[in-house]
Structure 1
Amino acid sequence: MSKLICVARIGAAHGVRGEVRLWTFTEDPLAVLHYGPLTTKDGTRSFEVAKAREAKDHVVATIKGVTDRTAAERLNGLELYVSRDRLPETDDDEYYHADLIGLAAETTAGAPLGRVLAIHNFGAGDIIEIAPPTGSTLLLPFTNAVVPTVDIAGGRVIIELPTEIEGDEHDGGGQESDAAATSSARRPRERGAP
C-alpha cells in the first residue's frame, strides 16, 4: 500500500455556512480540489473539498456534507491525507518530503551520519534535519553544495559537511563561505504535495 501524504490541515470555521479555513501543503494551494476524497491519517474519515478559493495565507474551502458553522468547527485541526501514488511525479531536484524522511545520510567519504528526520523551512531556505544514532540532530542547509546527491532508489543522501557556517568570521574578513555563496537551493515540495 502507498504511504499517505499530508496535503492539508483544516483550521477554524469561516462564516456560518460551513466553510473552513484550510492550510494546504501543496505547491498549488488549490490542488486539493483535484485529489478526490482526502482521509484522516488513520483512514477512518473521508472528506472531499467541493469548492475552494485562495485567501491571504490560506484557502477558504467548502467540504462536501458540511453545511453549518457547528459542523465546520468540529473539523478544526484535522489533517487531510492522500495516497502517495495519487500525486504527480516531481521534476529533477524536487522531492516530496515524505520520500526523503527515513533515508540514510552519509558523508561523501561514506561514513554514516544517521537518517533524515525532517525537512524544514523557517523562511531562509530549506534545512535538512539528520538524526544520528546518538547525540543531537544535525540541521544543515538543503542545498546542492551540502547535499550533492539524493538517491531515493538507493535509500540515501550524501552530505558534504560544511567547514564554515555562513556568518562565522574567518580569514576572509567575515564573508560567507564560497560553498554557501554559490550553492543553488533544492526545492523540495511542501510536506509532500505539488
Structure 2
Amino acid sequence: MSRVRIGRLGRPHALSGGLKFRSEAPEALLSQDRVYLEGVGWRAVERVEALAGGLVVHFVGVTGREAAEQLSGRDVFVEAASLPEPEDGWYYFQLVGLPVRLGGEAWGEVVDVFDSGAQDVLVIKKGARRFMVPLQAPYVEVADGEVRIQEPPEGLLD
C-alpha cells in the first residue's frame, strides 16, 4: 500500500496532549483510526476535535503537553486507500504527475500543488521552466487524468 502525506502536526494545544493539525484537506484526518507520523511510525488516533480554523488531534498514549511537544512538526501520512472521497473532487497528491495540455496539445506536467491562501495553485513543469497556474481559474479543467488549459490570460505562460 502507498502512504500519502495529509498534513503536519503543529504546536501542542492546551495541556492534555492534543496537537494542532495543519492540512490542505483536513477532512482526510477525520476518518482515520491511525496515522503514520514521520520518524515515529504508526500511532492510533484517540479523537479529533474542531478548533477555530482547524483541528486538534489526540493520540492514544499522548497524555500531556511534553509528550505532544515530541510530535510537533512531524508530517502525517495515511494509506491512500483509507481516504474518503475528497470534497473538492481530488486531493493534491492525485494531481501531481498529471500531464498538462494547452489548447489540446501536450505542454507539461504538474509537479506540485499548493494552497496560496486565496486559491489552489498548480506548479507545472515544461522543460527546465516552472509555471504557477491558479487551479480555480475558468480556463483550467481537471478531467480524464489530465489538466487542460484553454485560452489563459496573456503572459501567464510566457
TM-score w.r.t. length of structure 2: 0.81
Equivalent in 126, 132, 138 of residue 139 of structure 1? 132
1:86 maps to 2:82 = yes
1:130 aligns with 2:124: yes
Match of 1:73 among 69, 87, 90: 69
Query: Is this contact kept in 1: 2:26–2:55, CA < 8 A?
Result: no
| Structure 2 gap ranges (5+) | none
**Offset of 1:41 from its aligned partner?**
5.1
Identical columns (%): 26
Distance 1:54 1:88 in 2: 18
Please give the residue correspondences for 1:112-191 in structure 2 after superposition, counting only pairs within 5 Å: 112-135=106-129, 137-143=130-136, 145-152=138-145, 156-164=146-154
Query: Structure 1 unaligned runs (5+)?
Result: 167-194
User: Cα distance, 1:144 vs. partner?
Assistant: 6.2
Alpha-carbon distance between aligned partners in 2 of 1:23 and 1:143, rounded to the nearest angstrom: 22
Call closer, same or farther: CA 1:64–1:95 in 2, change over 3 Å.
same
Question: Is the 1:32–1:49 contact (alpha carbons within 8 Å) kept by the matching residues of 2?
Answer: no
Q: Which whole-Å CA distance do the structure 1 matches of 2:140 and 2:113 have between them? A: 12
Aligned partner of 1:17 in structure 2 is 16
Paired amino acid for 2:147? V
Does residue 105 of the first structure (1) align with residue 104 of the second (2)? no
Q: Distance in 2 between matches of 1:131 and 1:144?
A: 18
1 or 2 for the larger relative contact order (CA 8 Å, sep ≥6)?
Answer: 1
Q: In structure 1, how many angstroms separate the alpha carbons of the residues matched to 2:22 and 2:147?
A: 29
TM-score (structure 1 length as normaliser): 0.68
Q: Larger strand proportion, structure 1 or 2?
A: 2
AA in 2 matched with 1:103: L
RMSD (CA atoms): 2.6
Provide, for residues 148-188 of structure 1, a one-character-per-residue CA deviation record: whole Å limited to 9, x for no partner. Answer: 35222xxx32222414369xxxxxxxxxxxxxxxxxxxxxx
Larger radius of gyration: 1
